[in-house]
């Protein structure tokens, strides 16, 4: 399963009401580190399918969500469990570093 596009419309259902932990990637198409991180996020979505939901939030299209999460720099990755933020990371991270956020 690929990453899920998270919007203001599906945020409640896909993130807050998710029974699985959710890894959210706040990104933008013009952001070079975001483009470098994208394949890593995709790999994690495949590797942890059924265990962790992986969502992507385009900060240009979803400014309200970005604002709600106080996103100042991207990429900004957030780990959410039971509707609560348990971990965050700003900037490019390796697959190993992101996996440490998941476990």
Give the pLDDT mean for 74-88.
95
What's the pLDDT score for residue 2? 80
What's the pLDDT score for residue 14? 95
Give the pLDDT mean for 80-87.
94
Joined together, the tokens standing for residue 88 give 């965050």
Domain limits, the chain: 4-102
Rounded Cα–Cα distance for residues 103 and 92 (Å): 19
Residue 1 has pLDDT above 90, yes or no: no
Joined together, the tokens standing for residue 3 give 């990453």
Per-residue pLDDT of 15-48, as tens digits, reads 999 999 999 999 999 999 999 999 999 999 999 9
State the sign of the Cα–Cα–Cα–Cα dihedral 28, 68, 71, 75: negative
4-102 has CATH 3.20.20.150 classification: no
SS3 content of the chain, % helix, strand, coil (to 5): 35, 25, 40
The torsion of the CA quartet 8, 10, 14, 15, rounded to 10 degrees, works out to: 20
What's the pLDDT score for residue 33? 97
Give the pLDDT mean for 97-102.
94
What's the pLDDT score for residue 97? 96
Cis amide leading into 62 (omega within 30)? no
Which residues carry out catalysis? 31, 34
């Amino acid at each position: 399963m690929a990453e899920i596009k998270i919007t203001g419309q599906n945020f409640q259902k896909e993130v807050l009401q998710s029974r699985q932990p959710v890894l959210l990637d706040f990104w933008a198409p013009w952001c070079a580190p975001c483009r470098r991180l994208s394949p890593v996020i995709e790999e994690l979505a495949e590797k942890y399918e059924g265990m962790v939901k992986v969502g992507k939030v385009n900060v240009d299209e979803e400014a309200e969500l970005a604002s709600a999460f106080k996103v100042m720099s991207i990429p900004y990755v957030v780990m959410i469990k039971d509707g609560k933020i348990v971990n965050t990371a700003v900037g490019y991270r390796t697959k190993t570093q992101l996996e440490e956020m998941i476990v």
